[in-house]
């Protein structure tokens, strides 16, 4: 079985926060975690230092490669730091990579 995961703590949200399925908008100091199972990438966030994870809206997304899932993770981290109501972006390069 193929899989990979990435975790980035200390991601401070822009004004719009990160939209989650379970809790709505989260703002502040978040940890972002992406897991790739060889077919899809699941992205979750939590308040840094807590144990409860929340699914980022739009997750999971189709992703054909480990590299594509890593790029997706980084894109989500960067988007959360910017203004806007962040959800998981489905980009052509992610789906095709």
Task: Give the 3-state secondary structure of residue 87.
Answer: coil
Per DSSP (E only), the strands in the chain are: 4-12, 18-20, 24-26, 29-36, 40-47, 54-55, 61-62
| pTM over cut 0.85 | yes
The pLDDT tens digits for 18-28 are 999 999 999 99
pLDDT above 50 (res 70): yes
Q: Which two tokens stand for residue 8?
A: 């980035």
């Amino acid at each position: 079985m193929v899989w990979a995961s990435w975790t980035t703590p200390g991601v401070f949200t822009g004004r719009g926060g990160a939209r989650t399925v379970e809790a709505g908008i989260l703002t502040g100091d978040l940890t972002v975690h992406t897991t790739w199972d060889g077919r899809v990438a699941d992205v979750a966030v939590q308040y840094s230092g807590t144990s409860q994870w929340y699914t980022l809206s739009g997750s999971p997304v189709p992703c054909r490669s480990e590299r594509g899932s890593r790029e997706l993770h980084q894109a989500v981290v960067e988007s959360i730091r910017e203004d806007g109501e962040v959800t998981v972006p489905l980009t052509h390069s992610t789906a095709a990579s």
